[in-house]
Amino acid sequence: MENRRFYITTPIYYPSDKLHIGHTYCTVATDAMARYKRLTGCEVMFLTGTDEHGQKIEDKAREVGVTPQQFVDSIVQGDRGILDLWKLMNISNDRFIRTTDDYHVSAIQKIFKKMHDNGDIYKGKYVGKYCKPCESFWTDSQLVDGKCPDCGREVQDAEEEAYFFKLSKYADKIQHLLEDTDFLEPRSRVNEMVNNFIKPGLEDLCVSRTSFTWGIPVDFDPGHVVYVWVDALSNYITALGYDNDRYDDYSKFWPADVHFVGKEIVRFHSIIWPAMLMSLGEPLPKKVFGHGWLLLDGGKMSKSKGNVVDPYILAEMFGVDALRFFLLRTFPFGSDGNFSNEALIQTINVDLANDLGNLLSRTVSMVGKYFGGQLPAEQAEDPDKDSELVDMVSSLRGRYEEQMEKFAFQNGLAEIFKVIDRANKYIDENAPWVLAKDMETNGPRLACVMYNLLEVLRVCAILLTPFIPTSAAEVLRQIGACEKCSTWESAGQWAVLPKTVAVVRGENLFPRIDADKALKELDEAAEAAKKAALPDLEIEPQLEEKVDFDTFCKSDFRAVKVKDCQPVKKSEKLLRFTLDDGTGTDRQILSGIAKWYKPEELIGKTLMAIVNLPPRKMMGQESCGMLISAVHTEKGEEQLNLLILDDKIPAGAKMC
């Protein structure tokens, strides 16, 4: 009998920054798979969560002056945080694990101890390289041009007392698992793993650190924290209740049916994770699927490149379903794909607005117009004209299922849209508006044409549910499909709607997008988001280099009174000051502050100037000294304030 349970996971996300559209990709795919499996009648466990330990988080928290726990809390639970994002994207996860959850922490300590006690974890000294952003250890031979082979960034020397996991012991078994079974897909990723990691010789893995504290303590050796990947990978079993009392589903759902993971973390999931499970004596997950990346202009999305795409902005502009649909319709799941706003708009306009949206609105409005919203029972079939469409729809579920079982979302959707396309042609072939001219003769035929179109919409909407849950439910509502007509079972059958079905007119599901306008708005929104992400206030760091007192005393700071202030011709920046410096002779200083001050507002003010700088010519005029001001950056813009002194300070007074 078919296994009616299905356990699927996403990687648990690092809450080190806000998530971007690339992160959303895997979670949306996992959600579509989980919904598909539920639709087919499986009992599904869909797990996602956050991976909250490690040096990177500790460093980031320090940078912003909060504790690591406060830092991760704000990114996970805060406004527009990870939980908000999954809610927005309509993600139907059954469980959410945080690796800082107590039950997980104590389970990891037990897992670590088990592997220690069975001799697979031993103490040694770690000498190698560490990539902080990736939280990965590398041996010299694994580096590419001396840099991290995953992200290409600089690595650091690392040497410390550490525990090691006997990964080498499992090399043969892992090689067999990868080469001789379907454990890892797509197949292309197998060669990469075997050639790059196993054949050069699997080395034991450093699994504890002592140089930072934000991790799960090794309870039998204080000072050591568990390597973040050992902590993170185990989430897939602790979230089911392995070695803890918080949950009790381990025997029900383990082994997982599939771990969906991005291609750069396939190594951890297809080598380290199975080895850990072998050491623990637990069954291995049935499959690891390494999906491709969403790229931007052919390159990686990253905060440092400033090119990350905000899923909130896209979902707000185009709708959650449209965004979910685009991600899975456009890119083959196993390969990389280039994300662009143009492609997003194009997919929405072609597939959703033109093809699906039009089919729905034309059909529902014709049933309204020609039959007052409810079809008559008398309907005339015409096999010559109907059978191709009917056959296509009747066999659609099978073709779709075949693709979905392979995680080929794009192909599954392509099957649906072939049918939608065919149905739009069917309207033109049968020209309902011509039939409607003579309802007495053609009424039954017209009713049958309408019925067939409603059936197409019914089956397609059921199969689209995993991708666009809200819109698919709305399609089913508008075509009058009851619950029984909306099941997986019924998606494999033709003529399930009652003949006298009544439609419900509703909103246009997918309005056409004006591409030029939308692209402009997106640019503006991205610009505004970039600005909003800038720190409110940026103060230049203090200089490390010391200046001796005698050198300092050589600078002659004086109070000066502004007798006159004028703009300098042909200069947008400069103001020319005539100053009383207490000597009896006027002093002229030019200052580049026109952006912040109007000349007239400064007349009469007492300012601070350094008066023993050598004279300098600017725009052909001499400047003897410099006015002192305070500068800082606010929301990315430089701000300047002159030091304006108390008026009772006389001109010429020395500042010291």
Q: What is the contact surface with ligand MSP in residues (CB under 6 A)? A: 11-14, 22-23, 25-26, 51, 232-233, 235, 261-262, 264-265, 293-294, 301
- Which of 468, 348, 66 lies closest to 15 in space, CA to CA? 66
What minimum distance in Å lies between the beta carbon of 285 and ligand MSP? 12
Chain-centre distance of CA 557, in angstroms?
A: 53
Q: Residue 85 CB, nearest distance to ligand MSP (Å)?
A: 12
Report in angstroms how near the CB of residue 330 gets to ligand MSP at its nearest: 13
Smallest distance, ligand MSP to C-beta of residue 568, A: 50
Q: At its nearest, how many Å lie between ligand MSP and the CB of residue 295?
A: 7
Residue nearest to ligand MSP (CB): 262
Nearest to 113 by CA among 230, 269, 219, 255: 219
Nearer to ligand MSP, 25 or 164 (CB): 25
Spatial distance between the Cα atoms of 425 and 622, rounded to a whole number of angstroms: 80
Contact 105, 98 (CB under 8 A): no
Closer Cβ to ligand MSP, 305 or 418, answer by number: 305
Instruction: Please report how close the Cβ of residue 551 comes to ligand MSP at its closest, in angstroms.
Output: 49
Q: How far is the C-alpha of 569 from the C-alpha of 591, rounded, in Å? A: 13
| Structure-derived torsion over alpha carbons of residues 484, 490, 496, 501, reported in degrees to the nearest 10 | 50
Q: Considering the complex, what minimum distance in angstroms separates the CB of residue 642 from ligand MSP?
A: 46
Angstrom CA distances, 577 to 391, 607, 608, 655, stand at 88, 11, 12, 20
For ligand MSP, the closer CB: 410 or 490: 410
* Nearest CB to ligand MSP, comparing residues 334 and 443: 334
| Whole-number Cα distances in Å, 217 to 53, 60, 68, 106, 234 | 11, 20, 15, 9, 15
Whether residue 458 contacts residue 476, with contact meaning beta carbons closer than 8 Å, is answered with yes
Nearer to ligand MSP, 86 or 370 (CB): 86
Closer residue to ligand MSP, CB minimum distance, 13 or 312: 13
Rounded to whole angstroms, the Cα distance separating 223 from 209 reads: 8
Nearest Cα residue to 629 out of 598, 599, 607 = 607
Nearer to ligand MSP, 13 or 170 (CB): 13
53: phi > 0 → left, psi -120 to 50 → alpha, else beta; which?
beta
Q: Per-residue DSSP letters for 394-452?
A: HTHHHHHHHHHHTT-HHHHHHHHHHHHHHHHHHHHHH-HHHHGGGHHHHHHHHHHHHHH
What's phi and psi for 5, nearest 5 deg?
-110, 150
Kindly state the smallest distance separating residue 116's Cβ from ligand MSP, in Å: 21
Pair of tokens at residue 294: 């969403």
Both tokens assigned to 390: 């009917």
CB 192 within 8 A of CB 153: no
Write phi, then psi, for 647 (nearest 5 degrees).
-65, -20
CB nearer to ligand MSP: give 331 or 371: 331
Task: State in angstroms the smallest separation of the CB of 273 from ligand MSP.
Answer: 8
By beta-carbon proximity to ligand MSP, the closer residue of 85 and 475 is 85
Smallest distance, ligand MSP to C-beta of residue 220, A: 24
Min separation Cβ 142 and ligand MSP, Å: 18
What's at 294, amino acid-wise? L
- If the CB atoms of residues 128 and 334 are measured against ligand MSP, the closer one turns out to be 334
CA-closest candidate to residue 264, choices 324, 330, 175, 197: 197
Tell the smallest beta-carbon distance from residue 337 to ligand MSP (Å).
8
Q: 265 vs 446, which CB is nearer to ligand MSP?
A: 265
Cβ–Cβ under 8 Å, residues 211 and 228: no
Nearer to ligand MSP, 13 or 183 (CB): 13
* Residue keyed to tokens 């300590």: 109
